[in-house]
């Protein structure tokens, strides 16, 4: 994913031309051409601004990924809907539920789900090859405790996830936007974290990981600044056993690069 942020701290799309910029400005006005009331709840403002947590790119879907999407998608891909579905019915049981935002090609998601069969995992990813790759892994490993939503994570959180309903959230290696002028585009921002925290049950956890030290420092500051969250350690956590080391992470560690895990719990 590529993430951006608006002044409310949520990811946003960038205007591509003058007409689009004017359209966005008009969308922030009421029907009688008055500016939006600054007291309007942020969910409504975000909806009008058509907030997105990504910029899509054209990516090739392999034959195996397309086959997995055709054969397994109808069972395991949940269409976005602006209402809260019956998740117990969708998963076919009542079990602890973990949300993963931006699962990439799905290898980590599949490995965690295979080792935690008593948990249900809801993965949110916008890029089609990643969706196809995870479905392919699910078919190969006969995994049935994963569901996928191919949509903007902000809208999924706002409209499909009930407050105080999640047992955990995973955000592993989000785009670091390493240039200082792009730090405002990072996913982990105060308003977004507040939204995440509102969907966690008391005692549930939020686990982030990054291989960029500057982003780790920002994550620590932002998560530590959310009143409803509490760090499980003094600063950075040891990598939990359930999070596998990826091949890219292993290569980076061999080169002396750091990886930082942060695990917070909702008070």
How far apart are the C-alpha atoms of 30 and 217, rounded to whole Å? 39
Residues 149 and 80: beta-carbon distance below 8 Å: yes
Q: DSSP letters along 220-266, please?
A: HHHHHT-TTEEESSSSSBPPPTTSPPPHHHHHHHHTT---EEEEEEE
| Catalytic residue, candidates 4, 152, 175, 261 | 175
Cβ pair 56, 2 in contact under 8 A: no
Q: Would residue 175 show up in a list of annotated catalytic residues for this protein?
A: yes
Q: Which of 262, 95, 267, 149 is nearest to 198 (CA)?
A: 267
d(CA 171, CA 99): 9
Distance from C-alpha of 67 to C-alpha of 214, rounded to nearest angstrom: 40
Q: How many residues in total does the chain contain?
A: 267
Helices marked H in the chain? 18-27, 42-49, 63-76, 87-91, 107-115, 128-141, 153-160, 190-199, 213-224, 247-254
Q: Give the pairing of strands 200-210 and 166-172.
A: parallel
CB 254 within 8 Å of CB 244 = no
Going 223 to 224 to 228 to 230, the CA torsion angle's sign is positive
> What is the rounded CA–CA span in Å between residue 203 and residue 265?
6
Catalytic residues: 175
């Amino acid at each position: 994913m590529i993430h951006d942020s608006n002044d409310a701290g949520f990811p946003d799309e960038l205007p591509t031309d003058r007409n689009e910029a004017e359209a966005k400005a008009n969308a922030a006005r009421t029907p009688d051409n008055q500016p939006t009331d600054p007291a309007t709840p942020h969910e409504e403002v975000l909806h009008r601004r058509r907030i997105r947590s990504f910029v899509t790119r054209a990516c090739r879907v392999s034959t195996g990924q397309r086959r997995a999407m055709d054969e397994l998608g109808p069972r395991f891909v949940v269409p976005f809907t602006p209402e809260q579905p019956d998740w117990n019915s969708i998963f076919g049981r009542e079990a602890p539920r973990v949300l993963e935002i931006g699962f990439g090609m799905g290898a980590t998601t599949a490995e965690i789900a295979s080792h935690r069969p008593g948990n249900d995992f809801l993965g949110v990813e916008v890029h089609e090859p990643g969706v196809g790759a995870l479905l392919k892994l699910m078919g190969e490993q006969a995994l049935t405790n994963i569901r996928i939503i191919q949509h903007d994570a902000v809208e999924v959180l706002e409209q499909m996830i009930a407050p105080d309903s999640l047992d955990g959230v995973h955000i592993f290696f989000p785009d670091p936007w390493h240039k200082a002028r792009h730090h405002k585009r990072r996913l982990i921002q105060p308003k977004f974290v507040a939204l995440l925290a509102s969907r966690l049950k008391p005692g549930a956890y939020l686990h982030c990981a990054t291989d960029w030290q500057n982003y780790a420092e920002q994550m620590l500051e932002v998560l530590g600044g959310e009143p409803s969250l509490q760090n499980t350690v003094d600063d950075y956590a040891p990598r939990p056993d359930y999070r596998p080391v990826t091949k890219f992470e292993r290569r980076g560690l061999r080169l002396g690069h750091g990886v930082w895990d942060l695990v917070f719990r909702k008070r």
